[in-house]
Amino acid sequence: MNTYRYILFSLLLSLGLFSSCFDDKGNYDYKEIGEAVIKAIPGVTDNGDKLVCLENDVIRLTPEVEFKAGTSASDYEFIWFRYPKNPAGQSGHYEQADTLAMTQNLEYKVINTPREYWLVYKVRNKVTGALTEQKFEFIISAISGWMVLDENASGKADIQVIRDKDIVDGGDGRIVKDYFSFNNEGKKMENARFMAICPFSSRANLYVYSDAGAYILDMSTYKEKADSYTDLFSSTVTLDQINPQAEHYDIYGGNVEVLVNNYKIYTVAYRMMGQTQFVAASGVYDYTAAPAIAPIRINGSANSAALFDTKNNRFITVGTWGSITAPVSTGGAFNTGAIDPALKFVCMGEGKDGETCMVMRKEDSGEPYLFRASFVETDPVALTSDNLNGLKDMGVSKYYAFGTRGNFMFYATDSKVYTWRYGSESASEFMTVGEGEKIVQIKMYTNVSDATFNGKILFVATQKGNEGKVYKVVFNEMSGVAESSPVEYTGFNIIKDMYYR
């Protein structure tokens, strides 16, 4: 805000033309009754006295004001000003309020980075000095939501962000388009594969992995960093081939980041003094890692993630210090260290209460199986080994997701999604996609800080030619049954991956 407005605002305060409103009265119904009545501020008072916007948004607010009989807007002075919810500045100095406008209505382009403010609207009678004001939350939100990595027919990729109301504070359903290129001078990504995030303070990055390595982005601004893929690895590592396949960061079991590159496991154990780059995981050396990582989200558990060794048909776990083991169960439904070699790995994911769920098929017949095990503690627990051949359309299923709050799984064919509760004799149809669409991915929404919807939303990506679509379905966390009709988000290109940010 320019110097003139700061001086004018300070002068108004000193002359007593506007009473101070800097005292936080501890509630969002901050109004003083004067001759004018602020009846409503559409978009604010009908939204819990809160306005949420994004960087570069243009805010337009038109308050409904009832003036004293015999007066009009010209008889009043108006001011919109804001101040930070946490105004403490450097060296003990507190940040001052800044004036956004001195007009009846507000039109303002957001030029600030994400932060939370109070915004106050004041209306004062020029003659009597009677004052009315309305205070509300003004939040400049980071670009968060359900991220969609897509590419056009020319192979140029970008990131779209769905601001869904159930998973984003202030979400209005808009899709923030091409957010990577917007923040990187129009640049597009090439040969993009999948996304991952490491929020650890010393390396807070958003990754988009590609055939050539990775695009490494600042997690807040989405601006590309100068670092290359090989910069992520210790100087002791020699990569035989750049081939990123899966990544997971564990924030619960001990701050461990796990990456599979060309079927080998690399880890960063941030709790180990001085370790800030990937090193080759030690403890087990004769293995071929499947390109999948199942997180174990149990605080204080012995392990942070589970993987599968396709060479020896056994599970591998990553401990909270970054070392890997091949645990062998001595009892239970199967031996976690020696699964029938006739079964071949299909996919792996996180289940309820830290369980690891894996789908396998017989090499000759394609007969499907589900294995469930718990690697939370040092000693593994082999829970169930189920033959799924009797489930409807399971034989032609291609995509899978597992309940993180209930004992069920989803599986999808080209056009239908089914849900199956563990141990039941049949599966139920969950949803059918639009005519001509082909399912290309299903993913569970997992966000442990969201007590309401974590593990209760399934996102389904489809393709029809070069046109992509994303369905969002809220379901019952105990049964897996849909609670409402799917919400559709359209306008995507060829969808490569989906991820929550």
User: DSSP secondary structure string, 153-186?
Assistant: TTSEEEEEEE--TTTSTT--S-EE--HHHHHTTT
Instruction: Tell me how many helices (H) and strands (E) the chain has.
Output: 2, 38
Between 22 and 275, residue with greater pLDDT: 275
Q: Using the predicted structure, report yes or no on whether residue 7 has a pLDDT greater than 70.
A: no
Q: Using the predicted structure, report yes or no on whether residue 459 has a pLDDT greater than 70.
A: yes
- On whether residue 34 sits in a domain, the answer given is yes
Domain, as residue range, for 96: 3-141
- On whether residue 480 sits in a domain, the answer given is no
- On whether residue 89 sits in a domain, the answer given is yes
Between 208 and 251, residue with greater pLDDT: 208
The share of the chain scoring above pLDDT 70, in percent, equals: 91
- C-beta neighbour count of 144 within 10 angstroms: 18
pLDDT score of 88: 65
Of 210-214, 272-276, 324-328, 466-470, where does mean pLDDT reach its minimum? Answer: 272-276
317 strand-pairing partners: 306, 325
pLDDT score of 397: 97
Q: Using the predicted structure, report yes or no on whether residue 191 has a pLDDT greater than 90.
A: yes
Strands (E) across 363-493 are located at: 368-374, 381-387, 399-402, 408-412, 416-421, 428-432, 438-444, 457-464, 467-474, 487-492
- On whether residue 254 sits in a domain, the answer given is no
Residues 69-111 pLDDT 10s:
999 999 999 999 999 988 765 445 677 789 999 999 999 999 8
pLDDT score of 22: 34
Grade residue 172 by pLDDT with cuts at 50, 70 and 90.
Answer: confident
- C-beta neighbour count of 391 within 10 angstroms: 20
217 strand-pairing partners: 206, 224
Grade residue 56 by pLDDT with cuts at 50, 70 and 90.
Answer: confident
- Per-residue pLDDT averaged across 394-417, rounded? 97
- On whether residue 82 sits in a domain, the answer given is yes
Residues 289-317 pLDDT 10s:
999 999 998 888 999 999 999 999 999 99
Count of domains for the chain: 1
Q: Using the predicted structure, report yes or no on whether residue 21 has a pLDDT greater than 90.
A: no
What are the φ and ψ backbone dihedral angles of 257, each rounded to 5 degrees? -110, 135
CATH of the domain at 136: 2.60.40.10
- On whether residue 200 sits in a domain, the answer given is no
- On whether residue 117 sits in a domain, the answer given is yes
C-alpha–C-alpha distance, residues 74 and 63, integer Å: 15
pTM above 0.85, yes or no: no
- On whether residue 478 sits in a domain, the answer given is no
